[in-house]
Amino acid sequence: MTFELFIFYLFSAVTLFSAVAVVTVRNPIYSALFLILAFFSSAAIWILLEAEFLGVVLVLVYVGAVMVLFLFVIMMLDIQIDTLKEGFIRYLPVGILVAVAVATEMILVMRSDAFKVDIPDAAPLSVNNTEALGEVLYTEYVFPFEVASVILVVAIIAAIVLTLRRRTGVKKQDPSKQVRTRSEDRVRLVKMKAEKRL
């Protein structure tokens, strides 16, 4: 067993273990933490596959940004673990049905012809991963790429507009106004004659 194979099995084992733990542990915070571990170790596997750009971006976007927001939300909730466990037997048949359906679908997809390709040779090292991706994105796939970014901008604006509400009568500070104040607006220096001694 080579060193790389050893690392591959190590990270795969960690990924599988943490993916199972995400759905089995009771505390939602632990679930989120195991999800982070799963993302992290799959990023390591991608780096082993010489897709270092994708691996790093997975950590940067999902772990560094998305999961932070997830954790924020979960931390703010007041979670009663007892109520989470309620109704386990009641929902069990539906759960099994969904699990079987997903499993069959995945098996059917994995056995289809689309996955029966030979393992390609490793890419030559002359062009690095990041550069190659960038070139393809901005030449061949420039139109879908731009459409995707426009959709994202629309989504950002929509999210902001949905949550933006202006209430009247709130004593809210405006930092830009506060920063722009000058001493002349606040203090008036008055020159007065000294009082005469009596």
Partner 1 sequence: MMESLATFLNGYLPEGVTTLIVIMIKIVAILLPLILAVAYTTFAERKIIGYMQVRMGPNRVGPKGWLQPIADTLKLMFKEIISPTKASTIVFFVAPMLALAPALAAWVVIPFWDGGVLADVNAGLLLILAITSLDVFGIILAGWASNSKYAILSSLRVGAQMVSYEIAMGFALVGVLMAAGSLNLSDIVRAQDGGIQNWFAWPLFGLLLVYFISGVAETNRAPFDVAEGESEIVAGFHVEYSGMAFALFFLAEYASMILISTLTALLFLGGWLSPFGDLLNDVPVLGFILGDGFHWLFIKSFFFLFCYLWFRATFPRYRYDQIMRLGWKILIPVTLVWIFGEGVAIALGWKPWL
Residues 16, 20, 49, 60: which binds partner 1 (CB under 8 A)?
60
* Min separation Cβ 10 and partner 1, Å: 13
C-alpha neighbours within 13 Å on the C-beta side of residue 51: 12
**What span, in angstroms and rounded, lies between the C-alpha atoms of 124 and 46?**
17
Q: Is 173 in the site for partner 1 (CB under 8 A)?
A: yes
Cβ of residue 111: shortest distance to partner 1, in angstroms?
Answer: 35
Among 128, 141, 146, 157, binds partner 1 (CB under 8 A): 128
**Do 4 and 48 touch, CB atoms closer than 8 A?**
yes
- Is residue 179 a contact point for partner 1 (CB under 8 A)? yes
* CB 93 to partner 1: min, Å: 33
How many of the other CB atoms lie within 10 Å of CB of 53? 17
Burial 13-23 (b: 16+ CB within 10 A, else e): ebbeebbebbe
| Interaction between residue 175 and partner 1 (CB under 8 A) | yes
CB of 51 vs partner 1, minimal distance in Å? 10
d(CA 31, CA 10) in angstroms, rounded, equals 21
Contact residue for partner 1 among 19, 33, 45, 48 (CB under 8 A): 33
Cα 46 to chain centroid distance, Å, stands at 17
Residue 104: CB atoms within 10 A of its CB come to 10
Q: Which residues bind partner 1 (CB under 8 A)?
A: 2-3, 6, 27, 29-30, 33, 36, 52-53, 56-57, 59-60, 63-65, 68-69, 71-72, 75, 128-130, 173, 175-176, 178-179
